[in-house]
A and B are shown apart, each in its own frame.
Chain A
Amino acid sequence: MSKEWPLWEVFIRSQHGLAHKHAGSLHAPDAAMAIRNARDVYTRRNEGVSIWVVRSADIVASSPGDREALFEPAQSKVYRHPTFFPMPDEVKHI
């Protein structure tokens, strides 16, 4: 009876200095091969300069049921955004 290779999530950092971004998933028997497979599967077109892999089973995600409790409170805090503070046209560089 064969055992399936575990699933890994792949995160790639592109050349432009942005944070690692989820690229997709793949199967690999362990982390070392997951990195190699990620290189061959997800960076064939110069997509990245750095790879993270993590076992899909190890990802902890927020629950969709908590969406309102988690995210709606932020909607009422508009003062966190610069557009909340109108500035006169004469005032520059602010």
Chain B
Amino acid sequence: MPPDASLLDYLLRLADTDLVLAQRLGEWVGKGPVVEEDIASTNVGLDLLGQARMWYGYAGEVEARIAGTGRDEDAFAFRRDAHEFRNLLLVEQPNGDYADTLARQFLFDQWHLLLLRALSASADERVAGIAAKAAKEAAYHAERSADWVIRLGDGTDVSHARMQDAIDGLWMYTGEMFTAAPAGDPLAAAGIAVDPAMLKAPWDARVSAVLAEATLARPADGWMQKGGIAGVHTEHLGRLLAEMQFLQRAYPDAKW
């Protein structure tokens, strides 16, 4: 893949992952366990949505460099089918109960923060700039979700069981976050992207520490699902997109 094509693909991975998770958090609006938490969780969703928009904006510019014209954020978000989405499988998993939602957030946030901090030093100034801004938001998310995992893990018997179940169930979607870049990846070589494999050790350390404090067992690294980065998703993404994209699909000529 030529460098700009790789970069476009990479930016869509970042953008799609943020958007799909923001969409999931949007499903909770008005239905959280307590109104304070509703407001807090929506803040996370809004941060991620904002980050997605920044990544899509840059992706459109990169696409224009390749093809002469680039799509805008809404064309990326609302006019691509599931197989064109590059998000992690983890974030498209359904909300489930609040433990599932928070466990998903926790596993993602710890990775996301490491990734964004590393990308803040990207050789691509635009990537570095967006990552630096997003990293501040992600730091708060990472602390918040870790704290919730500890509270629910070390809360009541019920919450402990639910949180353990959530972590266990989602664990097989975490491997994809660390899939090594293919040999000769021009982005890694140019110092634009981060080799995800390098994030594994610090993520492990952080996640293990939080799980220990939460009195939760860290699942063994068994079989890991993958495919999101290549556009091969779980069944959940198709439905998520069908709902999200409805208006743009039903009224293709309309401006909103």
A residues neighboring B (CB under 8 Å): 5, 26-29, 32-33, 36-37, 40-41, 44
List of B residues within 8 angstroms of A32 by Cβ: 147
Could you list 9 A-B pairs, sorted by A, with CB under 8 Å? Answer: A27-B36, A29-B151, A32-B147, A36-B144, A37-B36, A37-B39, A37-B40, A40-B40, A44-B43
Does B183 lie at the interface of the complex (its beta carbon under 8 Å from any beta carbon of A)? no
Given A32-B147, A36-B144, A41-B34 contact (CB < 8 Å) = no
Contact, CB under 8 Å: A40 / B147: no
* A37 CA / B32 CA spacing, docked (Å): 14
Contact, CB under 8 Å: A5 / B40: no
Tell me the chain B residues, 145-186 only, with Cβ under 8 Å from chain A.
147, 151
Contact, CB under 8 Å: B147 / A41: no
Residue in A closest to B44 when the chains form the complex, CB atoms: A40
Interface SS of chain B: helix
B residues neighboring A (CB under 8 Å): 34, 36-37, 39-40, 43, 144, 147, 151
Contact, CB under 8 Å: A5 / B43: no
List of B residues within 8 angstroms of A37 by Cβ: 36-37, 39-40
Contact, CB under 8 Å: A36 / B40: yes
* From A5, A36, A44, residue with most partner B Cβ within 10 Å: A36
List of B residues within 8 angstroms of A33 by Cβ: 147, 151
Chain B: minimal CB distance from A58 (Å): 19
* A5 CA / B40 CA spacing, docked (Å): 16
Contact of B34 (CB < 8 Å), options: A5, A40, A44 = A5
Chain B: minimal CB distance from A6 (Å): 12
Chain A: minimal CB distance from B195 (Å): 33
Contact, CB under 8 Å: B36 / A28: yes
The 9 closest A-B pairs by CB, nearest first: A40-B40, A37-B36, A40-B43, A40-B39, A41-B39, A26-B36, A27-B36, A41-B36, A37-B40
* A42 CA / B34 CA spacing, docked (Å): 16
Residue in B closest to A28 when the chains form the complex, CB atoms: B36
Residue in A closest to B38 when the chains form the complex, CB atoms: A40
Chain B: minimal CB distance from A3 (Å): 11
* A32 CA / B143 CA spacing, docked (Å): 11
Chain A: minimal CB distance from B38 (Å): 10
* A41 CA / B38 CA spacing, docked (Å): 10
Residue in A closest to B144 when the chains form the complex, CB atoms: A36
Residue in A closest to B40 when the chains form the complex, CB atoms: A40
Chain A: minimal CB distance from B132 (Å): 19
List of B residues within 8 angstroms of A41 by Cβ: 36, 39-40
* A26 CA / B144 CA spacing, docked (Å): 17
List of B residues within 8 angstroms of A40 by Cβ: 36, 39-40, 43
* A33 CA / B40 CA spacing, docked (Å): 11
Chain A: minimal CB distance from B107 (Å): 20
Chain A: minimal CB distance from B234 (Å): 30
* A26 CA / B35 CA spacing, docked (Å): 10
* A32 CA / B37 CA spacing, docked (Å): 14
List of B residues within 8 angstroms of A29 by Cβ: 151
Residue in A closest to B42 when the chains form the complex, CB atoms: A40
* A40 CA / B44 CA spacing, docked (Å): 10
